[in-house]
C-alpha cells in the first residue's frame, strides 16, 4: 500500500549572521568625521557570508595560544584574499573589556570582520557552537552548516591548502590557485575558558 505522506527534507540550518551587523576596522576610524558614528563601518552579516566560506574565530588578547595562532590565520587570510578566494573571517571576542577587544582587533587581526562587543550575538554564537576553549575556528558553509569545528587544526597542519577542502564542502566553485603553502607549524596549545591549558 502506497503512502500519500510526503517525505520532508530537513531545512538547512539558518545562517547565524542572517540578522546581525558586523564591524569593519573602519568603524574605529575616529579621524574621519561621520554623522552617525554608531552605524559607520557596519556591514550586513547576511551579505558578507553569501557565496563564501565563513571562518568564525573565537579568540581573546589575554590568551597565549590565541597570540600565537592569530598571526598564522592573518597570513593565510591575506594570501587567500590576494587570490580572490571566497573566504570571510568573523572575529568573536572573548576579551574582558570592549577596549581590549578593540585594541586586539585593530592591532593583531587581519582585515576581516568582528561581532560588536556589546552584541548578544557574541554569547549566542559561543553557546551555539559550544565553545569551551580558545582559540577556536569554526568553518561554515554559506547556509550556516558547519564544515568543521577544527579549523584551527586545519590551518596549523595544512596552511592555506585546507581551504580547498573547505571550499569543496561548501559546494563553491574552485578557481583559487593554492600553489604556495605554509611550512608546518607545531607546538600550539589552546586556552580553556576555565583557566586550564590543553596541549
Element (H, E) at 153: helix 151-158
Q: What percent of the chain has pLDDT over 90?
A: 59
pTM of the model: 0.80
Res. 3: pLDDT tops 60: no
Which range has the worst mean pLDDT, 28-37, 107-116, 118-127? Answer: 28-37
- Please choose, from the candidates 195, 192, 189, the residue with its C-alpha nearest in 3D space to the C-alpha of residue 67: 189
Query: What is the bridge-based pairing of β-strands 113-114 and 87-93?
Result: parallel
pLDDT level of residue 34 (50, 70, 90 thresholds)? low
C-alpha distances out from residue 115 to 7, 23, 24, 79, 121, Å: 38, 6, 9, 23, 7
Res. 199: pLDDT tops 70: no
Res. 192: pLDDT tops 70: no
Res. 147: pLDDT tops 90: yes
Grid coordinates representing 94?
Answer: 572573548
Amino acid at each position: 500500500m502506497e503512502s500519500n505522506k510526503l517525505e520532508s527534507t530537513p531545512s538547512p540550518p539558518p545562517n547565524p549572521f542572517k540578522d546581525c551587523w558586523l564591524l569593519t576596522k573602519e568603524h574605529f576610524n575616529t579621524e574621519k568625521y561621520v554623522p552617525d558614528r554608531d552605524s559607520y563601518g557596519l556591514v550586513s552579516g547576511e551579505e558578507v557570508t553569501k557565496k563564501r566560506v565563513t571562518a568564525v574565530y573565537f579568540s581573546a588578547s589575554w590568551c597565549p595560544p590565541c597570540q600565537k595562532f592569530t598571526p598564522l590565520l592573518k597570513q593565510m587570510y591575506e594570501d587567500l584574499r590576494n587570490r580572490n578566494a571566497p573566504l570571510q573571517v568573523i572575529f568573536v571576542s572573548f576579551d574582558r573589556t570592549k577596549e581590549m577587544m578593540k585594541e586586539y582587533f585593530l592591532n593583531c587581526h587581519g582585515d576581516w570582520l568582528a561581532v560588536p562587543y556589546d552584541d548578544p550575538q557574541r554569547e549566542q554564537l559561543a553557546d551555539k557552537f559550544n565553545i569551551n576553549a580558545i582559540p577556536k575556528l569554526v568553518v561554515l558553509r554559506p547556509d550556516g552548516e558547519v564544515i568543521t569545528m577544527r579549523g584551527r587544526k586545519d590551518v596549523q597542519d595544512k596552511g592555506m591548502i585546507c581551504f580547498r577542502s573547505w571550499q569543496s564542502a561548501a559546494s563553491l566553485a574552485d578557481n583559487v590557485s593554492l600553489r604556495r603553502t605554509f611550512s608546518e607549524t607545531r607546538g600550539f596549545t589552546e586556552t580553556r575558558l576555565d583557566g586550564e591549558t590543553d596541549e
